[in-house]
Amino acid sequence: MTQLNRENVLKTLRGFEEVNRITESERRERLANMTEEQARSIFDDLNQSIKELTPEEKKRLEPFRLEHHLKVRKAMVKMEKAGL
């Protein structure tokens, strides 16, 4: 089994952390300047390959969809109370 060098692993992890910080900063900047048309285009592209659900599949997923919406609403209320 190959032995890993602790310093090399730590250096690699620090590098990943820095790349993630930069990527997140760039993502926030891109989203802040994105037009509604650009956002819609990206959304449409992402959903283009999704197959249409059958009525049976939709019915089976409905409880999970409702649960998700309630969780999101609860989170939004918390954020509003926190002033975010």
What's the number of domains the chain is made of? 2
R_g of the chain computed on alpha carbons: 21
Is the confidence at residue 50, as pLDDT, over 80?
Answer: no
Half-sphere exposure in the Cβ direction for 81 (13 Å, CA):
6
Model confidence band, residue 37 (pLDDT cutoffs 50, 70, 90): very high
- Coil vs helix vs strand at 61: helix
Structural domain range at position 72: 53-84
Are residue 44 and residue 68 in the same domain, yes or no? Answer: no
Are residue 41 and residue 66 in the same domain, yes or no? Answer: no
Are residue 62 and residue 46 in the same domain, yes or no? Answer: no
pLDDT at 19: 97
- Coil vs helix vs strand at 82: coil
Are residue 25 and residue 38 in the same domain, yes or no? Answer: yes
pLDDT at 84: 77
Are residue 7 and residue 26 in the same domain, yes or no? Answer: yes
Model confidence band, residue 47 (pLDDT cutoffs 50, 70, 90): confident
